Amino acid sequence: MDDGRFVSRTEAEATTLAEALRRYLSDITPTKKPTTAYREGVIGRRLGNHPLAHRVLARIRGKDVADYVRERQGDGAGANTIRLELALLSHLFNTARTAWGLESLTKPVDLVKGQRPRLPQGRAGAWWTTSKPASWRPLRPMTRPPHAGGNVGPLITWAVETVMRRGEIAPMRWEHVDRKARVLLIPETKNGTPRRVPLSTVALGVLDGLPRRIDGRALPPEGVVWGLRVASISQAFERVCAAAGIDGLTFHDLRHEVAPWFFEKGLNPMQVAAITGHKTLQMLKRYTI
């Protein structure tokens, strides 16, 4: 203590994981991109209901995390789902150490790196077949406006034509649409690099078909194209799939369906990566196997 090297464990031994999760979801999660924030909210609430959440942070060890991984695997959780849960847990401990003054904490997630489930090489056994580009269209008869100002049918068509993520679709603005160049600017993407998405005739037709007010502006306020939150897109898509009797299909799966089409049209990997927004060819490969 005289040398200034003593680190108190008092707060770390008094703060439970549940309390830390509430603080993290309140202070840290809202600063992230909409898609990430939505995902962390879902994961955080799930972790908060787990018995591990009643433990104080200083008493959570690598063995506890390894037990959690095995339990989640036994529940049927996928490798990527568990990876995302561990990523949130790791970031929470790191934040507690560096920003909340709990320097005495270890990082238990780092102790189980060799025991994490392996991610699959690609999306095998998907609901669609890439050789039939119209395989997603059985959903369209089921699409109806789930709420005021929203129509899932055009939204699905837009996602298929542009390969955009939910977090990129939700904040779309009319001023970013360049009809002359037939491109849409996405100023903020998941990987932090702005990109321009080419717009097909079908995609432009979707925009032309969206309802507008008498003054010529879109129904959503302040120049927003869709007026939907990320969570609303997911929920609307889930309702449509349920009505169509389709299980296990997510809105993000539409990206997996469309990416191989570009290769069938003769584009090279660098061109496809520029369209889909993947920074590495390894990530793009997961979409095309």
CATH code of 216's domain: 1.10.443.10
Are 141 and 88 in a shared domain?
Answer: no
Q: Is residue 165 part of a domain?
A: yes
Count of domains for the chain = 2
Q: Domain range for residue 227?
A: 137-288
Are 145 and 220 in a shared domain?
Answer: yes
Q: Is residue 132 part of a domain?
A: no
Name the average pLDDT for the chain: 76
Are 235 and 184 in a shared domain?
Answer: yes
Q: What is the domain-level CATH number for residue 84? A: 1.10.150
Are 169 and 268 in a shared domain?
Answer: yes
pLDDT of residue 156: 84
Instruction: Tell if the pTM clears 0.85, that is, is over it.
Output: no
Name the stretches of the chain with pLDDT < 70: 1-13, 114-115, 117-151, 191-192, 211-222, 259-267, 271, 274, 277-289
Are 280 and 167 in a shared domain?
Answer: yes
Q: Is residue 152 part of a domain?
A: yes
- Give the SS3 label for residue 258: helix
Q: Is residue 104 part of a domain?
A: yes
Are 195 and 284 in a shared domain?
Answer: yes
Are 247 and 179 in a shared domain?
Answer: yes
Question: What is the torsional sign of CA 246, 120, 269, 274?
Answer: positive
Active-site annotation, residues: 165, 190, 252, 255, 278, 287
Interval 6-21: pLDDT, tens: 455 566 668 899 999 9
The closest alpha carbon to 90, from 11, 165, 28, belongs to 28
